[in-house]
Structure 1
Amino acid sequence: METMILANIPSPPQGVWHIGPVPIRAYALCIMVGIVVAMWIGVRRYEARGGDPDTVWDAAIVAIPAGIIGGRLYHVITDHQKYFGEGKNPWQAFNISAGGLGIWGAVALGALAVWALMRHKGLPFAPLADALAPGVILAQGIGRLGNWFNQELYGAPTDVPWALDIYQRVDEAGRYAPLTGRSTGEVIASVHPTFLYELVWNVAVFALLIWADRRFRLGRGRVLWLYVAGYTFGRFFIELMRADEATLILGLRVNTWVSGILFIVAVAMFLRTRGPRETPQEVDPNGPLSATSAAER
């Protein structure tokens, strides 16, 4: 007997459109929308804490390019076999348009760039990080919609009602082109939509951060550490479901190891951090401004 599929999730027919010679990529649009949402939330939260909204915009100027570079570096390092070795083209490591940004590298290098900026300004990093963290996790969820358009980062074949249908995509010459081609309408696989699982989890963590911050008046980086712990906890299990090619360490995907290690670190730092919520105007004792000069501002 044939099994009737009641309600599968269809993939978009394509992920790239062209306006003349200019490609418009859905993945890039999703990332841009996520950045705008994160900035809107971050500005409101930092201002509510008593901070200068312009500081958030200054942070974005350094965090966005640093995040892109960090995300690409993490991807190239953890999937180096795709770019280096016999028959590989190392220059493809710079081809971001072909996909491949690791969130770990993006957040790490972006946060490091913002930390350096805040130290230069003589302002504490933690209040800004706590203000930005909820928007960042929500932006990650929005960015996962880009994976839906790209038909990537999915799980094993399944017959659950919410399975994701992966279509055959070809270019104008009829060649297989999963990222840039257009659907022929042929379903080549029905899989677990792990991008959707992560999207839902990210929204749930966003809600948790907003609630916990309001309920307990978290400060001194605890919202940031709660974000890391919440995200990595869900990502650990989602990684176990993914079926795409990945670098393995002792039989587990590298992102599974990273998730587990960062979760432990984040929980330890969250529990270790003490003290009342600080204000963004407090001067960083390690920064270039003295208490006297800060008081005169």
Structure 2
Amino acid sequence: MLQHPQFDPVAVSLGPLQIHWYGLTYLVGFLAGWWLGRLRARQPGSPLNEEQVGDLLFYIALGVILGGRFGYVLFYNFDVFLADPLWLFRVWEGGMSFHGGLLGVMLAMWWFGRKAGCGFFAMADFVAPLVPIGLGAGRLGNFINGELWGKPTEVAWGMVFPQAPDSLARHPSQLYQFALEGVALFLILWFFSAKPRPRMAVSGLFLVCYGVFRFLVEFVRQPDPQLGYLAFDWLTMGQVLSFPMILAGAALMFVAYRRNPQ
């Protein structure tokens, strides 16, 4: 079995100021999205120019942070919120949700698209290939913090996480998600979107692939302790939230290619 390296979660300390690795992963995700967005803006038919990408990034950052926090509170800790509504604003105590962040980003794309004179799905197809780098960076941040570990396992690469309630070897599910949601999803979407595709096809593929990857990893990821399994001794909140993504993505791709079979 392997031992978690027990990284110091603080990357840099400057007197009372502490910069955490998890915060740096968000910065990496946003910077990578900005750089890749400028590359996509140079492609023929792009709904945005290079100068607009920076403005879009600001809206998306708001969507990720606000949506991610609201989603975590509503989907995973609503009872805590009801008992202490101000807990919603104590973001330094941790807690972000991808599915909430996705809803926040969708709202941000709609808002910015209206200002830029672009349709929602034009924005969604533009943004979708930029997202996986940030997702992958975030999962590395989870691994550095030693959080969101997997279930106990006997596989050779099972890892003991000191923050876990026991000393059992567990799936390093954060690294599985990094490989799937970060690396694999980026490669799929980047090469798929390199050629002209029907409107909604790229965003539809994003929803399908992320939903499938997340649904599968949830089988080896330890469920949130305050929720546990929702049904059947295996169904998690992550799977409940991911399944509609798969259906919606498949529907978008069906409509996209139905309208434009070529």
The TM-score normalised by the length of structure 1 is 0.77
2:115 is matched by which residue type in structure 1? Answer: H
Alignment identity in percent? Answer: 28
Higher helix share: 2
Shift of 1:54: 1.8
Shift of 1:195: 0.7
| RMSD over aligned Cα atoms | 2.2
Q: Which runs of 5+ in 1 are unaligned?
A: 169-177, 179-186, 277-297
Query: What are the Cα deviations for residues 94-133 of structure 1, in whole angstroms up to 9, with x where unaligned?
Result: 2222221111111211221221221133223333322221
Paired position in structure 1 for 2:211: 232
Larger radius of gyration: 1
Paired position in structure 1 for 2:55: 58
- Call closer, same or farther: CA 1:228–1:272 in 2, change over 3 Å: same
- Call closer, same or farther: CA 1:257–1:190 in 2, change over 3 Å: same
Q: Is the 8 A contact 1:45 1:132 kept in 2?
A: no
Shift of 1:249: 3.3
Q: Is the 8 A contact 1:30 1:145 kept in 2?
A: yes
Structure 1 CA distance, aligned partners of 2:84 and 2:18? 23
Q: Is the 8 A contact 2:149 2:161 kept in 1?
A: no
Which secondary structure state, in structure 1, belongs to the residue aligned with residue 96 of structure 2? coil
1:2-151 to 2 correspondences below 5 Å? 5=1, 8=2, 10-17=4-11, 18-49=13-44, 50=46, 51-80=48-77, 83-84=80-81, 89-151=84-146
Shift of 1:16: 2.3
Q: Is the 8 A contact 2:3 2:161 kept in 1?
A: no
1:232-271 to 2 correspondences below 5 Å? 232-243=211-222, 244-247=224-227, 248-251=229-232, 252-271=235-254
Paired position in structure 1 for 2:192: 212
Structure 2 CA distance, aligned partners of 1:263 and 1:246? 26
Which secondary structure state, in structure 2, belongs to the residue aligned with residue 24 of structure 1? strand
Structure 2 CA distance, aligned partners of 1:217 and 1:9? 46
1:67 is matched by which residue type in structure 2? Answer: V
Higher strand share: 1
The TM-score normalised by the length of structure 2 is 0.86
Shift of 1:47: 2.2
Shift of 1:227: 0.8
Structure 2 CA distance, aligned partners of 1:41 and 1:219? 21
Which secondary structure state, in structure 1, belongs to the residue aligned with residue 115 of structure 2? helix
Query: What are the Cα deviations for residues 203-259 of structure 1, in whole angstroms up to 9, with x where unaligned?
Result: 112111122223x52141211110111011010011122114253433521211111
Q: Does 52-61 or 190-199 show the bigger shift?
A: 52-61
Higher relative contact order (CA 8 A, sep 6+): 1
Paired position in structure 2 for 1:171: none
Q: Is the 8 A contact 2:77 2:226 kept in 1?
A: no
Paired position in structure 2 for 1:153: 148
- Call closer, same or farther: CA 1:224–1:60 in 2, change over 3 Å: same
Structure 2 CA distance, aligned partners of 1:240 and 1:108? 24
Shift of 1:65: 1.3
- Call closer, same or farther: CA 1:191–1:129 in 2, change over 3 Å: same
Shift of 1:89: 4.3
Q: Which runs of 5+ in 2 are unaligned?
A: none
- Call closer, same or farther: CA 1:45–1:84 in 2, change over 3 Å: closer
- Call closer, same or farther: CA 1:9–1:267 in 2, change over 3 Å: farther
1:221 is matched by which residue type in structure 2? Answer: M
Structure 2 CA distance, aligned partners of 1:80 and 1:192? 24
Paired position in structure 2 for 1:181: none
